[in-house]
Structure 1
Amino acid sequence: MSASLTREVIHGLPKVLLHDHLDGGVRPATVLELAAEIGHELPVTDGTVEGLAEWFRASADSGSLVRYLETFEHTVAVMQTREHLFRVAKECVLDLAADGVVYAESRYAPEQHLERGLTLEEVVEAVNAGLRAGEAEAAAAGRPVVVRSLLTAMRHAARSLEIAELAVRYRDEGVAGFDIAGAEAGFPPSRHLAAFEHLKAHNAHFTIHAGEAFGLPSIWEALQVCGADRLGHGVRVVDDIALGEGTVTDDPEAANRAAVEDPSSLRLGRLAAYVRDTRVPLEMCPHSNVQTGAAPSIAAHPITALARLRYRVTLNTDNRLMSDTSMTKEMTALVEQAGWGLDDLRWVTTNAMKSAFLPFDERLELIEGTIKPAYARAAEGFHP
């Protein structure tokens, strides 16, 4: 089945995206144009879109955290006015729709867009307006897509309660939930308990970046102390899954094989079992995880073993610009390098839609009315 799944076929499949950063998906051409407009100096001097796109990709691939973080300095710099935020948000929706995405959650940190005098409220309203305009244009072009936003607070800063209050205030205007992001080590999510308590008091949804750069304590705290609905990345849950005398982390390729051939040979620790038993959604981002060193390769990415063990795995892009990726590219890589088939893609897409911060009836409508029929049609052309 996998051999028949070409990139073109995959491109035509409906996709659901839960973990995508707005400032990590700006078009290179837009960065170039807006930087020139505001006088922001870019690190590439040849003035070409291709050169700038390559700089972003190479910097993210460099293995240097300093260079990786520098890439966001340039995208955030061109997202400081209402007009620019509107444009970036609208283009985000159009790019996702062109990739076959039918539902997405785009996350950004309002506190990072105040350098030119905007208020937090004005930032949120500008992004909301851009997302709605993008949805309308995509629908008119025959590519309907629903895009909601997640408001992110930076875990090293002290505005999380303020951002949580903002997420609650705007949840009827397209803000689906809240997120905590930034360096995990040294900045535990429990520093932001007031924000999480406010969200829970108002029955609001939230996810937490956990289990990527830091290990099991990050995951445990996000779930058991903070009460997260989902885990951003969560890849390090495999540190609590035993393979022989070691863990999945020691030999992920062997773990993937074992998960396919004999899942019982993988032994789940208490936390890993809890994550699976309670169906905690894992927002996994293969290309990004390889860039940051959280996974050794696409073929050896733990997403395959976790999928075979029936975790609530979802597939995501993280930062489309920095990783030079899309949902089509993420899916194609798993098909070509990790042996995924059409059923796997349908399953992971349905997982994501089930896990979306969207009302149940709207999730069900997309699953039953869009995702299932499209995959059923695709399956008619395959003979396993």
Structure 2
Amino acid sequence: MNNVAASSKPRITTLKVYQIPLKCRGEKTRLSGGRTYPQVLSTIVEMTTESGLVGFGESVPWGSNYLPAYGQGVATGIAELGPVLIGKNPFLIGAINELMDRHLMGHPYVKTAIDMACWDLLGKQLNMPLHDLLGACNAQPPLLSDGIGNEIDAELDANIAHQRADGCRQFAAKASGDPDRDIAFLQGVATRLQPGETFKIDANGGWRLDEAIRVSRGTQNIDIVFEQPCRTYEECRDFSRSSCRPMILDECVDSLDILIRAKGDGILNGLNLKIGRHGGLTRARTIRDVCLALNVPMHIQDTGGSNIANAAIGHMAYSTPERVLLQVWNTMNLIETVTATGGAFVEKSRMYLTPGPGLAVEPDMKVLGAPISVFG
């Protein structure tokens, strides 16, 4: 692939950066510990080559208290990288990532949109959809992971019925962070599950270790998967060992080192793979491929985003073999602001992709507005 790309010797001539507040959808944006988000900030990169080819990427940290990242920091970091990217070959994506790492240590969320735009350009150059470039392993539209609500009420019952009718066999919700309330909620959900159905409770690291153990012991009668019960890797490890319950790791797996450590510790039951947490599709693909080799099941997600990031999720999911793909997250379940057409779309709780090269998205430039910075 690199030989094909290198033969044309393309160069990045312009890098434009846009920032757009994304309006969130009500209570669906609530995390444990009372964290709520009326809006999050999207940074979208438009990368142009000397031939006029244009690629797009998006990075959206979910507020400033979910991960060590924040929306305004994306554009600030890109200001460090923009000047050194001009004139470089965007199709040599490994070299682009090495260049970014040399000029900005860490801060993977800053690099996500740039890496994504390079992949979009490569797909357009080769006239191939991104999922073909990433592996093209999944012929079936992946099933969505969507919350059923956080209260035992008529809305929760309606959400379960709707998702069940669409073929969902595992339902999900966010923990409140209050162990007593969470135990009562989970017991209420248990009475609504049918044989063969399971439930995933996502604490977003909101329980202390002792609280997570209490919730586990208070729900022994329910087939539950726990997602990121505690904040740190060590707490999650100790929870897994003491509870013997299935656990999906999420926020604490911020590197390949932690992933390998979890495998060695015997607690890598599953992973939430978030593209933006690892700096884009390139590094996320590495994590994905290691999980594939280790037979570790995955949810494919991102830290946040609108239509552009959602398209990247879809393409990554379609390139992941079904045997390890659990579910995907549709970012637009939480976001009202539409930034592009095309990309990924949903029918009956499954994600489909718009045909076309690269991400196959068409940004709405009226929504993006004027760029906040231009390089080149």
Q: TM-score over 0.5 for the alignment? A: no
The structure carrying a bigger strand percent of its residues is: 2
TM-score range, shorter chain: 0.3 to 0.5
Ranked by relative contact order (alpha carbons within 8 Å, sequence separation 6 or more), the top structure is 2
Normalised to the residue count of structure 1, the TM-score between the two structures is: 0.43
Normalised to the residue count of structure 2, the TM-score between the two structures is: 0.44
